[in-house]
Amino acid sequence: MRPGEGLDALMSPRSIAIIGASQEATKIGGRPVDLLCRHGYAGRIYPVNPKAAMVQGLQAYASVADLPEAPDLAIIAVDAERACEAVEQCAARGVRSVVVFSSGFAELGEQGRAMQERLRVAARGSGMRLLGPNCLGAVSVAEKSIATFSIVLEHGMPAAGSLGIVSQSGNLGSYTMRLASERGVGVSRFITTGNECDIDIADGIAWMARDPATKVILCCLEACRDAGRLISSLEEARDAGKPVIAMKIGTSAAGQAAAASHTGAMAGSDAVFDALFARCGAVRVRSIDELIDLGHAASILLPDRLPKGPGIAILTASGGFGVLLADAAQSAGLTLPELGEDTQRQILELVPFASARNPVDATAQMSSRPDLLEKIMTAVVADERTDTVILPLPFSLHLPRLRSIYMNTLRNMRAQFPRRPIVLCVDGPDDALAELHALGFPTIESFDGCCATVAALVRLQAAAQRPQDKPAPVVRAAPPAADAFRHELGAKRALAEAGVPVLTERLVRDADAAARAATEIGYPVVLKIASPDLPHKTEAGGVVVGLGSEADVRRAYAQMCDRVATRAPDAAIDGVIVAPMAKGVAELILGSRIDPVFGPVVMVGLGGIFAEILQDSAVQMAPVSEAQAMAMLKSLKAFAVLDGARGRPRADLDAAAKAVAALSRFAAAHADTIAEIDVNPLLLRARGEGAVALDALLIPHGERPVGGH
């Protein structure tokens, strides 16, 4: 089923049954009844409880079968065993959607997985959509459709707004909803998917992409069970102009281990998530604070006040705050363009002792004289050399005198500059903040948070604008020739067919043939042993370089055969490879492997020390286009090394990107047979002179390599 289909009954139900409805409002089966009644849900509510005639003042029903109609939504708040029966009864009764709160399913191992499968079969068999099990349910704020037992609602409902929250973890989703409320950000929808036996995170994203009430989607996820669905839902949101702000947790080794034991699902490589979000236009954040800050700011600035670039102006009455913000801005990747001469002159005419370049430090004069404040702020906001104006007013709004000065000035700014992005670094009374939000000014208390958010807004705007560069569709190919898995020459021949550049090399089986091959290829040459049993050729004595004559080749051939026979008497020898010597200006390592979630992925990094010590590499789902491959290269920390830094020769980056793209197509086409590909090194020549794979290894499924090579 296409992501997001069939969720209307869940999110906008006209009637809700609660199976396991309890008289006590604090119990799991009592809380939804209480919340629906208390907040005035307008649809019909049917408590189901075989032991009670009334529940919390409503008529109760003994079973699903006894209900006067098949409800749009049934909430299942009974233990796992009884939940299976209840779901089957709902399916039989024609219920359109169910939320299963109950835990005790796949997260507990084999028996639980079997019970969860029973839920899935019941739901899929009837077309009924199922949220959960082991989840905190769903809420539509404006409709007061409250199918959750989240304790954060004990505090009251969030205000209705345009922020949609979709989370695998119920607690993270709830916490996000609560923080949004505290920050005065209105929420449209809340969906927690738990074990995802039917409805998954992709359903939630795609449905919200089509939901008129939702403008921004916050997404918390730990794992991905179906990469294709996730991608398609993210693309749908992007195409609908709705930013997805994703917090993917389990980034650390410790976090991944915890997530695996918590969700029972493979997470997939965290680096691939990064690549996937970037490709689909989602903006990834690293903490819940960033998630909330960015959700808040985006929902206020959309649709037409997003910053167009990274240049900010800082306007402050305190030099110290200006310095602190400038530090925070630089570390977030923002820039501080110098303001125009006109702007600076205007500022200095108003306050001769101001710093006017940027940050603008208009000194305490600014906050003591409203007329100056307005003129200086007008000058700074009007200067379009910067994309966003940041105004730090840490505690000013708490002081009535300063509050009225700043609020008046900001109202005037909005009237004069209706579309200009202005972000306030401020805390203050709730009513002041609410007015600022209504005027279109995001407010963020922390200096770091403010700059991180503006930087993320710039990424969000860029993601929405980025032209879509789709990779070619995957064409499944027949398995490569058997020798592709036996030795490097076979591997390189297979890769060469796919477009990865290689040298002219020969496989020979005696010294005469080696000498003839060398003469054809041209001296000097290299001899390398060809054997499926010797991945470490050098250690086995199976590599000799720099052979300058026929005599050298003959002698080296004989000696190599002797050495290998002594050191590895049991190794199968396919022959000896004769190859030309090659020189270049840089080396890359390329490769692919099969990610348990994302399938074939392609990696590239600089060779030598960079890959070994600095773990500087880029990864993407295969296949990638040449443009995407180039983006991977540019994302390397040591990219400058390839691009002529400090007088180095510029490497042939176009050839490198072509090779990465070719390898990625090959990996995707052979994902059923090839588990891993290593090209080490891909030698890059100077710009315009190409690249060439010097060594390669293909590993079929079901085999682990002996080691590096």
Which residues within the stretch 199-258 sit at the binding site for a second copy (CB under 8 A)? 220, 222, 249-255, 257-258
Residues near 173 by beta carbon (within 8 Å), at least 6 away in sequence? 136, 150, 165, 166, 167, 190, 191, 192, 220
* Alpha helices for 155-246 (secondary structure H): 170-182, 201-210, 227-239
The contact pattern for a second copy, residues 655-674, with x = CB under 8 A and - = no contact, is --------------------
Residues within window 303-332 making contact with a second copy, judged by CB under 8 A: 317-324, 326-331
Q: What angle do CA 529, 534, 536 make, to 5 degrees?
A: 95
- Map residues 388-407 to x or -, x wherever contact with a second copy holds by CB under 8 A: ------xxx-xx-xx-----
Task: Calculate the CA 352 to chain-centre distance.
Answer: 48
| 3-state DSSP assignment of residue 3 | coil
Considering only 91, 276, 336, 389, the residue that binds a second copy (CB under 8 A) is 336
Please work out the total of residues on this chain that contact a second copy, with binding judged by CB under 8 A. 80
Using CB under 8 A, which of the segments 203-211, 286-294, 461-469, 474-482 binds a second copy?
286-294
Residues 359-378 that bind a second copy (CB under 8 A): 359, 361, 363-364
For residue 646, the tally of other CB atoms under 10 A from its CB is 6
Nearer to a second copy, 361 or 626 (CB): 361
**Of residues 163 and 179, the one with the C-beta less far from a second copy:** 179
- List the one residue from 551, 640, 701, 703 that touches a second copy (CB under 8 A): 640
Nearest to 77 by CA among 6, 150, 9, 13: 150
Residue 173 CA, distance from chain mean position:
17
For a second copy, the closer of residues 288 and 382 by Cβ is 288
Q: How many CB atoms lie within 10 A of CB 344?
A: 19
**Shortest CB 335 distance to a second copy, Å:** 8
Nearer to a second copy, 141 or 328 (CB): 328
Q: Which of 6, 39, 175, 549 binds a second copy (CB under 8 A)?
A: 175
Restricting to residues 86-105, which ones interact with a second copy according to CB under 8 A? 103-104
Give the one residue of 31, 96, 144, 178 binding a second copy; rule: CB under 8 A: 178
Does the protein bind a second copy through residue 433 (CB under 8 A)?
A: no
User: Are the C-beta atoms of residues 491 and 500 closer than 8 Å to each other?
Assistant: no
Binding mask 340-359 for a second copy (x = CB under 8 A): -------------x-x-x-x
Stretch that binds a second copy, among 171-179, 341-349, 406-414, 520-528 (CB under 8 A): 171-179
Q: Is 635 in the site for a second copy (CB under 8 A)?
A: no
Binding residues for a second copy restricted to 123-152, rule: CB under 8 A: 151-152
Spatial contact of 177 and 187, defined as CB atoms under 8 Å apart: yes
Report the length, in residues, of the chain: 709
Give 267-288 as a DSSP string. ---HHHHHHHHHHHTPEEESSH
Helix/strand/coil for 297:
helix
Q: What proportions of the chain, in percent to the nearest 5, are helix, strand and coil?
A: 40, 20, 35
Which one among 14, 113, 262, 486 touches a second copy, defined by CB under 8 A? 262
Nearer to a second copy, 332 or 377 (CB): 332
CB of 15 to a second copy, least distance (A): 28
Question: In b/e form, how buried is each residue of 368-398, taking b as 16+ CB within 10 angstroms?
Answer: ebeebbbbbbbbbbbbeebbbbbbbbbebbe
Nearest distance, CB of residue 175 and a second copy, angstroms: 5
**Measured distance CA(692)–CA(390) in Å, rounded:** 50
Q: Which of 446, 519, 549, 673 binds a second copy (CB under 8 A)?
A: 446
DSSP annotation of 235 reads H
Q: How far is the CB of 573 from a second copy (least distance, A)?
A: 26
The residue within the footprint of a second copy, chosen from 108, 474, 477, 581 (CB under 8 A), is 108
Decide if residue 488 touches a second copy (CB under 8 A): no
In the complex, the smallest distance separating the C-beta of residue 31 from a second copy, rounded to whole angstroms, is: 12
Closest distance of CB 474 from a second copy, Å? 32
Map tokens 């994902």 to a residue: 671
Residue 695 binds a second copy, judged by CB under 8 A: no
Q: Which residues contact 114 (CB under 8 A, 6 or more apart)?
A: none
Residue 266 as a binder of a second copy (CB under 8 A): the answer is no
Task: Please state the closest distance from residue 255 (CB atom) to a second copy, in A.
Answer: 4
Query: Which residue in the set 551, 565, 582, 645 belongs to the binding site for a second copy (CB under 8 A)?
Result: 645
Q: Which helix (H) or strand (E) holds 562?
A: helix 550-567
Phi-psi region of 314 (alpha: psi -120 to 50; beta: other; left: phi over 0): beta
Binding mask 595-624 for a second copy (x = CB under 8 A): --------------xx-xxx----------
Nearer to a second copy among residue 458 and residue 662 (C-beta): 458
Nearest to 277 by CA among 218, 241, 230: 230
Which CB, 240 or 638, lies closer to a second copy?
Answer: 638
Q: Give the integer Cα–Cα distance in Å for 157 and 39.
A: 8
